[in-house]
Structure 1
Amino acid sequence: METKNEILVEVEGLSKKFCKDLRTSLWYGVQDLFKGWKTGGESGQLRDKEFWALKDINFKLRRGECLGLIGHNGAGKSTLLKILNGLINPDEGKVTMRGKVGALIELGAGFNPILTGRENIYNNGAVLGFSRKEINEKIEEIIDFAEIREFIDMPVQNYSSGMRVRLGFAVAAQMEPDILIIDEVLAVGDLGFMLKCYKAIDEMLPNTAILFVSHSMPLVTRICNKILLLDHGIEKFFGENIGEGIDIYYKSFLNNEESKIVDEGILEILDAKFIDAGVNKADNIQVHWMGSISIYFKLLFKVKNTELPLLRLIFYDKEQRPIAIIEENLEMKNLTLKDDILEFEVVHEQIQFSKGIYSIDIAIFKAFSNTPIYRLNNALNFQVKHEVDVWPPFILKANFNEYIIKKTNE
């Protein structure tokens, strides 16, 4: 009997190692076979050219929960999915899956390309543990959901990638599995079908445990109520605080090394740093919403008699989308150049960026010709603190005033 808080996925001490070299891997396999070792070498030990794809992963997923699995490429997400789906065995630990499992972990996975879409529906349903009678009751709903009725009796090998995704998700969703594993494959579909899928996920979630893998943090925020962050096979974060897990994920992208894409040799940025910006930390500047940021600049002019430049600061959100730029700074012409050094401060008050991590590109142009002479990408990073997590990049301050309807005498 189903219970709302029933644990459907339980992962305990899960570890998996691989070998970087195929020939060495085959040799280790032969050694393990003849020496009777359980899983290659002594427990917990790596041999030459081996590495941990996953190491000591632990989590539980209950009915009604959607776990967002995030991490860089090579973090171990695909390995974890293949273990959960029974495609490969772990070297250490245990995985317990309770109920019927539907999986969309690879485009077209589970489909026989020479069979028709209709025949593949029956095959996939049988793999999920459904009888032919149960599939007959669902097949029309599956075909309608997939929106490929006119092609349903055509071999799947002739389907486009979008058609395969639609059919795969339709089978997984309409057969109502207890556990649903969804990889990045939904990104292949068109926007209309993606929205349809997310609505279906919302409807399924109360009775299903969902593992959702994506590089799109807005989708993770929209769909998931738990998050697991992997980094080189290690569990970096697991919990219900989606925003905190995403912040840790984005911080791993930050690179403090200078990345110049334009340098005409006219000037050099000797220093660019935040000053008096909330709480100062060695690796991060934090400022509260509606606070102010002040940035100190020190420029060295390498060419004599250079006109004072035009400075542009371009702000990027955590998805690296440009979201703001400071206004034109014509007042720089009033600054004083001393010994080829120009020092000044840029202040922005009452910042209304939403909670999250932001970066700044510095672009410098000739003031009158607008010719770029220097650009530094990801020059500065800062974090805005706020009590709520929202995805839009701005939280706009507003006042809510009572509206009084005045009645006029007739």
Structure 2
Amino acid sequence: MNKKNEHIVTDQEVLVRVEGVSKKFAKSLKRSLLYGVQDVLYGISRKAQDKSLRKDEFWAVNHVSFELRRGECLGLIGHNGAGKSTLLKILNGLINPDTGTVTIKGRVGALIELGAGFNPILTGRENIYNNGAILGLTREEINAKVEAIIDFAEIREFIDMPVQHYSSGMKVRLGFAVAAQLEPDVLIIDEVLAVGDMGFIMKCFKTIDNLLSSTAIIYVSHNMPTVSRLCNHIILMDKGKSIFYGDNVGKAIDLYYSSFTDNISHVVYSNNSIEFISAEIDKARKDIDGTPQLDWLDDFLLHLKFKIADGNEPPLFRILIYDKEQRPLSIFEPNYDSNLLTVKNNLLDFKVQHKKIQLSKGLYSINITAFKRNTNEPILRVNNIITFQVLHEEDHFQPFLLSANFLN
């Protein structure tokens, strides 16, 4: 591995260059130790090791390459186990790759693991000085920033307590404060920010916005709206490989979301008086995987069928739309009027219409719950009765794109 840190950089220079980086691991600790001993004893050359995998080995990162300049924010996304954390550890110098090179210019601030970089027996204040020294700052430079770091972290009353006694939230506060306030050229942030409370997270995002003009940022998250908001470049990883790399953030997010789509409904509860049969979205075209697609402002027409037991009247339906992170976004007005629907030959066949759908571009799913009228007793709940996609030429991290007229 050729990893260099240079402190004189210009605005247009590439601050992070990753070229063909790969890293493999053995699935068991025993075999990993065995291979390590064999490599040392028998002097197997690095070149020979890298050509093939031995028994129980796998590529955690497989031939990944990218460049990042000052003012750019690279989103790193993918399922758990895709190789994101391993790649971050390589970038931060915690582990060495088996092949490829990493070149980083300037100071690197990293927040990639809870408490990473902290000495647990030292106080928060002492750890600030340790981290500053690692970044190459003099004691005088750290003295000038230490109060701002403590204020940002909002843990002044605990700053002289050993870090091992900090809560997870306190560690995140101090870790981000140190990583951001010491003005790194490259800032690496993992999903660890999700541990903090909402107020602090919003303050972190505001700080990231301010840092972007002078810093290259690598941001790892499963929160796609945040990725869409912050990042202007993106890598989608799967099984260690980079399957998408570029500046079309929306396309990568669509690919990420589409990997979750199974279009299989899941019955959570049923008292056997009603049975879910099918759900379709009328007048929607379908992609190659069969997912219904609507353009923004198309009419939404959900066609539902249920089997109803003898003698039962149509229930009250609550139909909810969820985004792909399973956050509830909206609910259709329930069928409070008992005369709206009728059962014929034990079949309840009806449609729910919503004019000019104004959901933002993205993938959505529908959950439905049926209640017995008058008693409000739940008799059926089905999750993901159907998944559908709203198409638009622009990406928005807000859940709704509202139609508007601008008037003089």
TM over 0.5: yes
Going from structure 1 to structure 2, the CA distance change for 1:297 and 1:148 (only over 3 Å counts) comes to closer
TM-score if structure 2 supplies the norm length? 0.90
1:398 Cα deviation after fit: 2.7
Find out whether 1:199 has 2:197 as its counterpart.
Answer: no
For the residues of structure 2 that align with 1:225 and 1:9, how far apart are their CA atoms?
Answer: 15
Matched residue, 2:129: 122
Find out whether 1:137 has 2:144 as its counterpart.
Answer: yes
Q: CA contact under 8 A between 1:255 and 1:378: conserved in structure 2?
A: no
Going from structure 1 to structure 2, the CA distance change for 1:151 and 1:362 (only over 3 Å counts) comes to closer
Equivalences for residues 241-320 of structure 1 within 5 A = 241-278=248-285, 281-301=288-308, 303-320=309-326
Going from structure 1 to structure 2, the CA distance change for 1:340 and 1:163 (only over 3 Å counts) comes to closer
Q: CA contact under 8 A between 1:9 and 1:62: conserved in structure 2?
A: yes
For the residues of structure 2 that align with 1:38 and 1:129, how far apart are their CA atoms?
Answer: 35
Query: How high is the sequence identity, in percent, across the aligned residues?
Result: 58
Deviations 1:201-229 (A, max 9, x none): 22222221111122222322332222222
Bigger Rg, which one = 1
Deviations 1:299-319 (A, max 9, x none): 333x32222333332111233
For the residues of structure 2 that align with 1:331 and 1:195, how far apart are their CA atoms?
Answer: 43
Deviations 1:351-388 (A, max 9, x none): 11111111011322334433322222011011111222
Matched residue, 1:407: none
For the residues of structure 1 that align with 2:362 and 2:76, how far apart are their CA atoms?
Answer: 19
CA RMSD for the aligned pairs?
2.4
1:298 Cα deviation after fit: 3.0
1:401 Cα deviation after fit: 2.8
For the residues of structure 1 that align with 2:346 and 2:176, how far apart are their CA atoms?
Answer: 64
Q: CA contact under 8 A between 2:63 and 2:100: conserved in structure 1?
A: yes
Matched residue, 2:370: 364
Matched residue, 2:382: 376
Give the gaps of 5 or more residues in structure 1. Answer: 403-410
Match of 1:216 among 198, 223, 238: 223
1:327 Cα deviation after fit: 2.0
Match of 2:392 among 386, 390, 405: 386
Equivalences for residues 230-241 of structure 1 within 5 A = 230-241=237-248
For the residues of structure 1 that align with 2:330 and 2:10, how far apart are their CA atoms?
Answer: 48
Match of 2:232 among 225, 238, 243: 225
Q: CA contact under 8 A between 1:28 and 1:40: conserved in structure 2?
A: no
Match of 1:157 among 155, 164, 176: 164
Going from structure 1 to structure 2, the CA distance change for 1:63 and 1:220 (only over 3 Å counts) comes to same
Q: CA contact under 8 A between 2:112 and 2:188: conserved in structure 1?
A: yes
The range that moved more, 200-209 or 40-49, is: 40-49
Matched residue, 2:407: 401
Deviations 1:246-279 (A, max 9, x none): 2222222223222110122223333322221245
1:40 Cα deviation after fit: 9.1
Going from structure 1 to structure 2, the CA distance change for 1:15 and 1:328 (only over 3 Å counts) comes to same
The range that moved more, 70-79 or 337-346, is: 337-346
One-letter amino acid matched to 1:176: E
1:105 Cα deviation after fit: 1.3
Q: CA contact under 8 A between 2:226 and 2:397: conserved in structure 1?
A: no
Going from structure 1 to structure 2, the CA distance change for 1:299 and 1:4 (only over 3 Å counts) comes to same
Q: CA contact under 8 A between 2:279 and 2:305: conserved in structure 1?
A: yes
Aligned residue pair count: 401
Deviations 1:170-205 (A, max 9, x none): 222222121111122323333333333222222222
Q: CA contact under 8 A between 1:41 and 1:47: conserved in structure 2?
A: no
For the residues of structure 2 that align with 1:165 and 1:185, how far apart are their CA atoms?
Answer: 7
The range that moved more, 168-177 or 375-384, is: 168-177
- Aligned to 2:202, the other structure's residue is in SS state helix
Q: CA contact under 8 A between 1:32 and 1:41: conserved in structure 2?
A: no
Q: CA contact under 8 A between 2:342 and 2:348: conserved in structure 1?
A: yes
Going from structure 1 to structure 2, the CA distance change for 1:160 and 1:313 (only over 3 Å counts) comes to closer
Q: CA contact under 8 A between 1:278 and 1:288: conserved in structure 2?
A: no
Find out whether 1:112 has 2:106 as its counterpart.
Answer: no
The range that moved more, 35-44 or 129-138, is: 35-44
Q: CA contact under 8 A between 2:189 and 2:218: conserved in structure 1?
A: yes
Q: CA contact under 8 A between 2:318 and 2:334: conserved in structure 1?
A: yes
One-letter amino acid matched to 1:14: V
Q: CA contact under 8 A between 2:9 and 2:106: conserved in structure 1?
A: no
For the residues of structure 2 that align with 1:20 and 1:220, how far apart are their CA atoms?
Answer: 31
